[in-house]
Structure 1
């Protein structure tokens, strides 16, 4: 049933007609519930509300798989403007970027140039930029570029996906860089040749990655809505005497808000992933595919204030 639900929502995420309708008519429903807003400025008030409750944020301008160099340039400038606004507004906020939105599928030289500009500005303001992980076919190129950037810039991190077979080896390979890593389940449809497909196998690998990253002493973001993963992390850090300053829990904006605040009240670092932009539909469908139980949380977020 989980596999059928996952495939269904991934199918919906690629439906151009539904995506068009969502952009045209659904923005007012999504804004403040699923996304911060259609632009960064309209997201600021929602970020400030979270910051006032002691919860930090990472923002992401929605959109990926850009094949136009001018669009990739526009995405780069938008990211730079966002970083500068975060600094000016003194927001407790970081930034996430997808390399395909900055030109990865056009050329490595283009995405390298765009990322260097972003990281130069981010370094000036001491704001972390996390390079999101996309589908498996782009994983090696993403990690190769991350290694390159990490050797030059302090304020850059990346993402490792628990459903990929290669992830343990990737963590081991990156360890010498003492990286900031966001650990996630993974939200793209991948074949059984490269990824675990059974829920319990993914959970076990997720736990293994949490152990490895925390034992390495590197700062870790555990991005999950799964109560079992949260419980495992709490028990593991307590058993091994790992400081709460070495990791954070990350959850999605508009989902599990009570759990987010409960974790903060228990003394854990909590960060909310808040996307913005009009390309919200595909993102939302992938989140439902990633964890079908998100449906109930999403509906509550859309219907309750």
Structure 2
């Protein structure tokens, strides 16, 4: 868990996040980010579509505490929706309510989300509400529920490490859901801490929604989980149009292509923008083995320098707390 905590600490460091934005693609971020602008991202989506892979697009953003920043994020996402429609690509939207103002003002966030969801609904584009830390969990669910009263093109994420996930997956079984393990540091009173427990819960939630839910997105790079799901859907006669596998852009490319070739619905999570650092660190926190799944270009000399500085800052902070 120490390595996981380390990467979570890095993801929350604003100074390092700013440094990553400054260096941008010079740090090798092109291996995990589909582009820094909409045009580059649409080009990446088209290439994936050619290989039978759909996409979910995430406009990256961290530390949004000003209305102007949230409004800018909303406008960017609206432009992405228009670009998806105009280019006729197979893609939908993933967004974080915090980027649209959840930490600023609830009604302000709702209006931003409503504008996004309404336009996406007009173009028959699905919008997924990505889940963040526990403090934002229920406010995000509530916003989705409220929007669902008028627009049925919304869904969300269930994080396996939360103790209440069994209750939530039953409550939201009529929504399209992405099942993940969880990538934030949460206390033991609300989240499982043991990897084996989280892994087991992950499988249980996937199986429940496959049997009872609307549509299941299985977000994993673990071939053991994927093999288990393949067998489970076969034994239970679950048709392919009830689920998809999801992986992150730049991770396990060969497996992504293979699953698509085998006839499974496959969706790549496509992040874009300059604000990629926190996103990437949480992916490493979620599964440190991801280090070996990303192409070597990510770890350039500049990347290693930033991570090295982060490690020093993290350790220094730990030592200071102990004193």
Q: TM-score, normalised by structure 2?
A: 0.89
The answer for the alignment partner of 1:141 in structure 2 is 139
1:149-192 CA distances to partner (integer Å, 9 max, x unpaired)?
A: 122112111111011111110111123xx200011111111111
Question: Which range is displaced more, 204-213 or 248-257?
Answer: 204-213
Match status 1:49 vs 2:47: yes
Structure 2 CA distance for aligned equivalents of residues 299 and 13 of structure 1: 20
Task: Report matched runs for 1:279-294 at 5 Å.
Answer: 279-294=275-290
> Is the 2:102–2:109 Cα contact (8 Å) retained in structure 1?
yes
The answer for the alignment partner of 2:274 in structure 1 is 278
Task: Report matched runs for 1:196-275 at 5 Å.
Answer: 196-275=192-271
Q: Could you list the runs of 5+ residues in structure 2 that have no partner in the other structure?
A: 300-323
SS at match of 2:293: helix
SS at match of 1:149: helix
SS at match of 2:214: coil
Structure 2 CA distance for aligned equivalents of residues 221 and 118 of structure 1: 22
Give the CA deviation at 1:25. 1.6
Structure 2 CA distance for aligned equivalents of residues 164 and 229 of structure 1: 19
Structure 1 CA distance for aligned equivalents of residues 213 and 67 of structure 2: 39
Give the CA deviation at 1:113. 0.6
Question: Which range is displaced more, 21-30 or 75-84?
Answer: 21-30
Give the CA deviation at 1:301. 5.9
1:207-262 CA distances to partner (integer Å, 9 max, x unpaired)?
A: 11111111114111000112222122111101100001100000000010011111
> Is the 2:28–2:297 Cα contact (8 Å) retained in structure 1?
no
Give the CA deviation at 1:5. 1.1
Aligned residues: 300
Structure 2 CA distance for aligned equivalents of residues 105 and 18 of structure 1: 21
Structure 2 CA distance for aligned equivalents of residues 229 and 150 of structure 1: 31
SS at match of 1:70: helix
> Is the 1:36–1:276 Cα contact (8 Å) retained in structure 2?
yes
Structure 2 CA distance for aligned equivalents of residues 18 and 68 of structure 1: 20
1:252-280 CA distances to partner (integer Å, 9 max, x unpaired)?
A: 00010011111111111000001111111
Structure 1 CA distance for aligned equivalents of residues 65 and 22 of structure 2: 23
The structure that has the greater radius of gyration is 2
> Is the 1:164–1:194 Cα contact (8 Å) retained in structure 2?
yes
The answer for the alignment partner of 2:316 in structure 1 is none
Structure 1 CA distance for aligned equivalents of residues 132 and 188 of structure 2: 17
Q: TM-score, normalised by structure 1?
A: 0.95
Structure 2 CA distance for aligned equivalents of residues 119 and 217 of structure 1: 22
1:34-69 CA distances to partner (integer Å, 9 max, x unpaired)?
A: 101112222121111100000011110111342111
Shift >4 Å, 4+ stretches = none
> Is the 2:49–2:89 Cα contact (8 Å) retained in structure 1?
yes
Structure 2 CA distance for aligned equivalents of residues 115 and 284 of structure 1: 24
Structure 1 CA distance for aligned equivalents of residues 275 and 16 of structure 2: 11
The answer for the alignment partner of 1:185 in structure 2 is 181
Structure 2 CA distance for aligned equivalents of residues 247 and 174 of structure 1: 16
C-alpha change, 1:301 and 1:151, in structure 2 (3 Å) is farther
Q: 2:23 aligns with which of 12, 22, 25?
A: 25
Q: Could you list the runs of 5+ residues in structure 1 that have no partner in the other structure?
A: none
1:115-136 CA distances to partner (integer Å, 9 max, x unpaired)?
A: 1111110011000010110101
How large is the RMSD of aligned CA atoms in angstroms?
1.5
